[in-house]
Copies of this chain bind each other. A is one copy, B any other.
Amino acid sequence: MRSSFVIKGHICYCPEPARLVIAPDSYLLCENGVCRGVFAELPAACRALPFEDMGDRFILPGFVDLHTHAPQSAFRGTGMDRELTEWLTANAFPEESRYADLAYAEKAYRIFTDELVRSATTRAVIFATVHTPATLLLMDLLEQAGLGAYVGKVNMDRNAPPSLCEESAARSAADTAAWLDQCRQRAHKTVRPILTPRFIPSCSDELLTALGELQKQYGVPVQSHLSENLSEIEWVKELCPQAAFYGQAYDRFGLFGTNGPAVMAHCVHSGDAELDLIRRRGVFIAHCPQSNMNLASGIAPVRRCLDRGLRMGLGTDVAGGASLSMLRAVSDAIQCSKLLWRLADTTLAPLKLSEALYLATKGGGAFFGKVGSFEDGYAFDAVVLDDTALPHPQLLAPAQRLERLVYLADDRHICAKWVDGRRLF
């Protein structure tokens, strides 16, 4: 049984990129885990429901982290003086190799999960590693915590160190099918599997062919990386000369939205043809501004994507990003959009607060279905933010307080959280 209840507070959400709704001292109705709207007065029919008054606090849709790497959480904030491919070899691969050891994985994934619980994130799309037992463990931990997630066992059958390189395409695909079967048996409520070819350099054509088949067979979505770094793009051109651009290297195997939903992280350097294909295929873009700074990748043209009506959300991309905070991702996205406007292209207007908040909630939430808004019918995912510990010498308007929370709040200021109407704390 999912719960039904009412909470009251300053309710904020973005039904569209250009529209931030702020309903002060209003009521939010949850019926069987689903949002049934925002009301200025408590409807008579709801008076019998459990009620909690959040007082002077802010109630927002839970944030959706559209791209992050759970096993990299351990080394976030270290080894930052490197670009993508060198960083993968020096930082990511050695750490990911440790997850063959389930005891280590449990220790590390518990730290990751605990932190995600305390954060503003309610749902995330997550890379695990190539290791099935550790991936299942991560899924169990997230499910137990009540978080919503897509989690992927990673596929890599080339250009990886021996400790991470799967024996063959066939073996990688067979292990993936076995993992998907185990996921079906587990029948988690909020955590689901997602196919995860790491990126084109890590996956042979044979492997991608097999994964395309698995996507059709199991009806699961797919996540990967796209056009993040200039050297990476050159490498993909060499590896895959038959593709006119990077996105086609996935599309050839149906892994670009044809066989099922797809989310691609970064798209920093996607050209017009790639963006057109992304639009036609309904592929989601996970914009990860902090990672793109730390790895010196550049700044994705978010304005161009919004203007084209692309489906898009924000990701922390830990450990390319050092912070697991989606509030930080919102301000990073705004700041980076201002720099792109200033340094590269004055036709790309900087993101407004409402646009970045939209991306971080409803934009990325759409990958999970009706998620990320307080409109009628949306999953009841919510976080409550408290700015009491951010003292101010005067009374501020709710809109100012909300913006201030985006820039200044951390996990200390998050005091309640629900996923599908189930309260996490």
Chain A residues with CB under 8 Å of chain B are: 74-81, 98, 104, 107-108, 111, 290, 293-299, 322-323, 331, 334-336, 338-344, 350, 352-353, 391-394, 396, 400, 403-408, 410, 412
Contacts and interface: CB of A to CB of B under 8 A. Distances in A.
B391 A111 contact: yes
A339 B293 contact: yes
A78 B403 CA distance: 6
A336 B394 CA distance: 33
A76 B404 contact: yes
Contacts of A393: 74, 104, 107-108, 111
B343 A340 contact: yes
A341 B295 CA distance: 11
Given A111-B393, A335-B293, A392-B111, A404 B343 contact: no
B342 A296 contact: yes
Contacts of A352: 81
22 contacts: A74-B394, A76-B404, A77-B405, A77-B406, A78-B400, A78-B407, A80-B334, A80-B353, A81-B353, A111-B393, A293-B335, A295-B338, A296-B341, A296-B342, A297-B342, A298-B339, A298-B343, A299-B343, A322-B331, A323-B407, A336-B339, A343-B344
Contacts of A299: 339, 343
Nearest to A350: B296
How many monomers of this chain does the complex have? Answer: 2
Q: Which of A80, A81, A392 has the most CB of B within 10 A?
A: A80
Contacts of A404: 76-78
A100 to B, nearest CB: 14
Nearest to A337: B296
Contact of A396 (B78, B331, B343, B392): B78
Nearest to A297: B342
A345 to B, nearest CB: 10
Contacts of A296: 338-339, 341-342, 350
Contacts of A331: 322
A98 B393 CA distance: 11
A365 to B, nearest CB: 23
Contacts of A295: 338
Nearest to A230: B342
For A98, A108, A294, A335, the residue with the greatest tally of chain B CB atoms inside 10 Å of its CB is A335
A92 to B, nearest CB: 15
B408 A298 contact: no
A274 to B, nearest CB: 19
Contacts of A335: 290, 293-294
A338 to B, nearest CB: 4
A290 B352 CA distance: 17
Contact of A343 (B77, B98, B107, B343): B343
A299 B335 CA distance: 11
A319 to B, nearest CB: 10
B407 A76 contact: yes
A343 B339 contact: yes
Q: Counting chain B CB atoms within 10 Å of each CB, which of A295, A392, A405, A412 scores highest?
A: A392
Nearest to A400: B78
Closest 7 CB pairs of A and B: A77-B407, A296-B338, A293-B335, A108-B393, A77-B404, A322-B407, A78-B400
Nearest to A229: B342
A74 B405 CA distance: 13
Nearest to A106: B393
Nearest to A351: B81
A346 to B, nearest CB: 10
